[in-house]
Amino acid sequence: MPNRISLFIIAKNEEAKIAKCIASAKELVSEIIVVDAFSTDKTVEIAKEMGAHVYQRAFDGFTNQKNFALSKVSLPWALNLDADERLSPQLCQEIKQTLASTSHVGFDIPFSNYFLGKQMKHSGLNKEYHLRLVRKEGSQYVGGLVHEGLKVNGTVGKLHAPICHYSYDSIEAYFNKFNKYTSLAASQMQKNGRKFNLLFVLITIPFEFIKRYILKAGILDGMRGFLWASFSAFYVFVKYMKLWALQHKD
């Protein structure tokens, strides 16, 4: 069964995490594809040492980058991970058993999210599922610069063991990515014809905090829950301010 699965990863400057990501799937997959956006650290060197086929491509959005990576997969099943994600041992075993006999063409996988070194059991992060394992044939990423999604031709099942997502080890790491993601989100909104609306922003920002901290029980995640709710609200604020700036840059 393992020789039917390819792992593919898109990455840039992930030398601290990519080895653990690949290692978590090493016994499950028979092909490793890494598409690197011209890293300036040792990401490429480490990936090659771990047995990956490495391609370099300028980043032009998550949808295009992942479709390019998927095109390099040569085996029937394709498994996607980000460099800060790892398969749990239980998930590796479940995938082996499930793919031995299935009529599904893809599988949603639950996520166990970690923030500042601790698992987040609430805050809207405890019930995430993402389509990450698919048959290559007939699969394609759709979407824009951000919020890409996989489209498949057939039924999708659900697995139970999680992918462990070690998203941000520090507040600095969060804001290192924050600027990139808010810029991409603002650009995508502009491309979609979204117009800046101050009243909408004024309503949305506090609601985002309340949703994460109260409605999604982020308060039970302690200080990390407060930070996640606050950062999520600030993310909304910044992406809309960037949209405003794009629409008024002349």
Other beta carbons less than 10 A from residue 97's beta carbon: 11
Q: Structure tokens of 21? A: 């990501």
Tens-digit pLDDT profile for residues 127-147 = 899 999 999 999 999 988 888
Per-residue pLDDT, 145: 82
**pLDDT surpassing 90 at residue 2:** no
**pLDDT surpassing 80 at residue 155:** yes
pLDDT band for position 1 (50/70/90)?
very low
From 233, 231, 244, select the one nearest 187 (Cα to Cα): 244
- Beta bridge partner(s), residue 108: 131, 158
Let me know if 192 is exposed, middle or buried by CB neighbors in 10 A (0-12, 13-18, 19+).
exposed
Kindly give the interhelix angle for 198-210 and 222-247, rounded to the nearest 10 degrees: 170
Beta strands of the chain (E only): which ranges? 5-11, 31-36, 53-56, 77-80, 85-87, 106-115, 118-119, 129-135, 140-142, 149-151, 156-158, 163-168
Average of pLDDT values for 70-77?
Answer: 98
Domains of the chain: 2-167 (3.90.550.10), 171-247 (no CATH)
- Got the DSSP string for 146-177? SS-EEE-SS-EEE--SPEEEEEESSHHHHHHH
**pLDDT surpassing 70 at residue 250:** no
- Find tokens 């070690």 and name the residue: 166
